[in-house]
């Protein structure tokens, strides 16, 4: 394999997670440690940083300070939700990317994100190949949604799942404080895939009574009836719903209340307000005290309760991307191949970008119970290893110590 | 001092906290360890458990299992919001309490709660005294609201403050991910006192831009103008508001949106929906992307991020109540007297119940900045020691291990 000397660009894209910076750290450290990579750039706000010639020089950062990225949530370099057009359709962005890559002799491009980011990655890789510019392109997976195809799971999911399960446990006890009736509706992220909402089931004996995923159609009449039955029996009901639940006609339940909706640049509906909508409906039908709780952004940035397994795997994924690229690998996403027979074991597996891009992996229907309002043991067995281990986050004055980078622009 | 042999009743009242069970544990352990106390009862749902003759026998519990109460949020015995009438007005409840106390030879009553609970405590103490029934009554403070008079601070506050400050830090980074404009409104608990909302300031360089407490009148026009100014300069604005903020005429801002309100049995308005109301107003005035986030019940039950200082102090408060009562003290609330000159030091101080009951301690106006939208250093110096230290909560499969009591009824 020919040694390819040159600079690298590392970018972060899509919604942040508690551990996306652990992947960035893995990639940055591996790149800094490598003599073949001449310069390590961080793209400001993902691919937009390349288009706008906004690159931070990672070589200028203090290594000890960089190490704090392991426990710093959100995207330290900044992120974007910028969709590249197909290059057959409009070459403008690609020409600009090639221009910047040539300008700084960028020969390695590492992009850390979800489905849409793998699509960006794939398109850039193909364009460079077509134009004879040698550049190794690697995708590093990241998404709390856990919906990337081909990999056992995605970095970011374990930590979000741990936050959700922990919060469900705490809320279960809180809801039982008074000997008066109470119905609680928890709204959890996840447009099309119910992985995050499924994590509520990890709370075990403290799990919500009813859990609804977008993988199956939501039946409002059955839901109201089930809530009433549990309420009459126990006086307390906790329901977990994915923001993306919809009825058999595909209409989002979040839209039942007539909440104003907007769409992002990928055309995804911006959801929210489902807990309030459902709470109002349930209140009307039961006359019980009902409270809607939205986990909101907290579920994707709560690094204080991150999973150590997730942190370590995220870091490894970043390192593996760089180390493999230097060895000659390109056009791949780093994935995980896991076994859970006796103990949990997770290994790196390289997946072709085109098989990952734009495919959504959903919760298998056979992991959902017969009444479509709970999860079965195979899901628990799948997910429990992913939330194992405590973060060990460094504290100052009782609060997290986050990384403070210089971010020197090139 | 005459030795008073007899049983004790321990009750929990009002809204739960992450550490109210640490106080219960302190009281239960001290009572079990003491030969003078013949039997240790836990009242199911506070004073209602006494009225309904629903007492759990704590002597029947496994000591190792009880120890898990230190890290179990919410009120393990159940709580209530039951207001006793003045006994001059209606003696019914008091006669019943005396009947139960006589029936089980209850000579010690320990009540763990906030202002209203200290009022209950005070009334029972006075009634027993008036009727010549020897019973030592002690209040154990508890409230995330931190609004009890006489004591430096309240058990429960430090942990809620730690959750709020930590979440503010994480959300600060999350809000800066995209290079597009974003205004975030955080709604924090606190009807009349702004202690919890003030905790947002502990996030330091990651603190919200604007922090509004109910101690000062909220001016909507100035608020909108300030948000606009910061938005135009930085593109990002984070605002923390107490649920109880009101305008100069005393009207709650939460009611601006016409949200349906209800009142609890103490006549307190049930607030909520302020974040959504304010978000809608700000969106209309700025046309920016605005997101409202309510910390909701999570801020009072997030034991996974409890303050070790708070846990230890809560435990000590419970122990001190029992140990002092056995020595002959009655009619007092356990309070804290603290110094912060060189290092933080906290000592137990006993306060007369009648000076504590029904008085609300607010954030001193001299700790609020001139523009009434932030906190000054004296608040930071006051609060930082209270959030110090990590919980050390035991985990099983990556999730908290909560106490599981037998709760054998008498």
- For residue B241, give the nearest of B183, B198, B282, B271 by alpha carbon: B198
Distance between CA atoms of B174 and A94, rounded to whole angstroms? 29
| Per-position pLDDT tens, chain B of length 410 | 679 999 999 999 999 999 999 999 999 999 999 999 999 999 999 999 999 999 999 999 999 999 999 999 999 999 999 999 999 999 999 999 999 999 999 999 999 999 889 999 999 999 999 999 999 999 999 999 999 999 999 999 999 999 999 999 999 999 999 999 999 999 999 999 999 999 999 999 999 999 999 999 999 999 999 999 999 999 999 999 999 999 999 999 998 865 444 444 444 444 448 998 899 999 999 999 999 999 999 999 999 999 999 999 999 999 999 999 999 999 999 999 999 999 999 999 999 998 887 788 999 999 999 999 999 999 999 999 999 999 999 999 999 999 999 999 99
CA neighbor of A304 nearest in space, from B361, B163, B3, B207: B163
Secondary element (H or E) of residue B148 = none
Cβ–Cβ gap B293/A291 under 8 Å:
no
Interface residue of A399, A407, A409 to substitute, partner B, most B CBs within 10 Å: A399
B301 → closest Cβ in A78, A171, A384: A171
Burial of B345 (0-12, 13-18, 19+ CB in 10 A): exposed
Q: Chain B interface, mutation test: which of A72, A74, A170, most B Cβ atoms within 10 Å?
A: A170
Token pair belonging to A375: 């999860």
The tokens for B251 are 């009207």
SS3 content of chain A, % helix, strand, coil (to 5): 40, 20, 40
A145 is catalytic: yes
Whole-number Å distance between alpha carbons of B304 and B392: 9
Which tokens sit at A98? Answer: 């090639």
**Residue A80: its chain B contacts at CB < 8 A?**
178-179
Average pLDDT estimate for A273-288: 92
With a CB cutoff of 8 Å and minimum separation 6, the contacts of B175 are A297, B182, B184, B236, B238
Q: Following CA atoms B27, B29, B35, B36 in sequence, which dihedral angle do they give, to the nearest 10 degrees?
A: 10
Distances (CA, A) of A63 to A28, A344, A402, B304: 10, 32, 14, 31
Of the listed ranges A245-259, A276-290, B210-224, B281-295, the least confidently predicted one is: A245-259
Question: A93, A145, A152, A310: which is the annotated catalytic residue?
Answer: A145
Tell me how far CA of residue A34 lies from CA of A29, A59, A133, A330, in angstroms. 9, 12, 22, 17
Contact between A177 and B307 using a beta-carbon 8 Å cutoff = no
Give the ipTM of the model, two decimals please: 0.96
**pLDDT tens-digit readout, A29-50:** 999 999 999 999 999 999 999 9
Q: Which of A206, A162, A196, A190 is nearest to A302 (CA)?
A: A162
Counting DSSP H helices and E strands in chain B, the numbers are 13, 15
HEC-encoded secondary structure of A224-273: HHHHHHHHHHHCEEEEEEECCCECCCCCEHHHCCCCCCEECCCCCEECCC
Q: Vertex A289, ends A283 and A292: CA angle to 5°?
A: 75
Residues 6+ apart with CB under 8 A from B202: A399, B161, B164, B165, B168, B380, B383, B384, B387
Helix (H, G, I), strand (E, B) or coil at B307: strand
Size of chain A, expressed as the number of residues it contains: 410
Q: B191: distance to nearest CA of chain A, Å? A: 18
CA A344 – CA A309 distance, rounded (Å): 11
């Amino acid at each position: 394999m020919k040694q390819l000397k040159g600079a690298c660009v590392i970018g972060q894209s899509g919604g942040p997670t508690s551990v996306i910076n652990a992947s960035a750290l893995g990639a940055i450290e591996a790149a800094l440690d490598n003599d073949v990579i001449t310069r390590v750039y961080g793209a400001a706000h993902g691919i937009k940083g390349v288009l706008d010639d906004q690159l931070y020089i990672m070589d200028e950062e203090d290594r000890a300070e960089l190490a704090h990225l392991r426990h710093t949530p959100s995207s330290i370099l900044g992120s974007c939700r910028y969709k590249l057009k197909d290059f057959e359709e409009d070459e403008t962005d690609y020409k600009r990317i090639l221009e910047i890559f040539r300008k700084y002799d960028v020969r390695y491009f590492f992009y850390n994100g979800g489905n849409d980011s793998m699509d960006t990655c794939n398109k850039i890789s193909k364009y460079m190949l077509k134009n004879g510019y040698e550049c190794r392109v690697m995708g590093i997976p990241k998404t709390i949604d856990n919906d990337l195809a081909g990999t056992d799971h995605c970095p970011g999911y374990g930590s979000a799942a741990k936050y959700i399960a922990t919060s469900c446990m705490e809320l279960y006890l809180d809801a039982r404080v008074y000997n008066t009736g109470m119905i609680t509706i928890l709204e959890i992220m996840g447009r099309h895939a119910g992985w995050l909402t499924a994590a509520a089931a990890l709370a075990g004996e403290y799990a919500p009574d009813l859990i609804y995923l977008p993988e199956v159609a939501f039946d409002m009449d059955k839901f109201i009836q089930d809530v009433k039955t549990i309420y009459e029996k126990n006086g307390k009901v906790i329901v977990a719903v994915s923001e993306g639940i919809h009825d058999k006609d595909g209409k989002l339940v979040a839209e039942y209340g007539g909440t104003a909706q907007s769409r992002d640049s990928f055309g995804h509906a911006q959801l929210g307000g489902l807990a309030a909508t459902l709470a109002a409906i349930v209140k009307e039908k039961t006359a019980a005290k009902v409270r809607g709780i939205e986990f909101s952004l907290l579920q994707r940035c709560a690094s204080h309760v991150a999973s150590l397994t997730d942190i370590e795997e995220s870091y490894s994924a970043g390192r593996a991307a760089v180390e493999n690229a230097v060895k000659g690998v390109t056009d791949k996403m780093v994935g995980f191949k896991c076994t859970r027979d006796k103990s949990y074991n997770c290994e790196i597996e390289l997946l072709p970008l085109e098989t990952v891009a734009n495919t959504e992996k959903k919760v298998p229907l056979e992991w959902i119970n017969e009444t479509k309002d709970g999860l079965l043991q195979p899901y628990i067995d799948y997910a429990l290893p992913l939330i194992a281990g405590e973060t060990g986050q460094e504290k100052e004055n009782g609060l997290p110590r986050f990384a403070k980078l210089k971010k020197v622009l090139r």
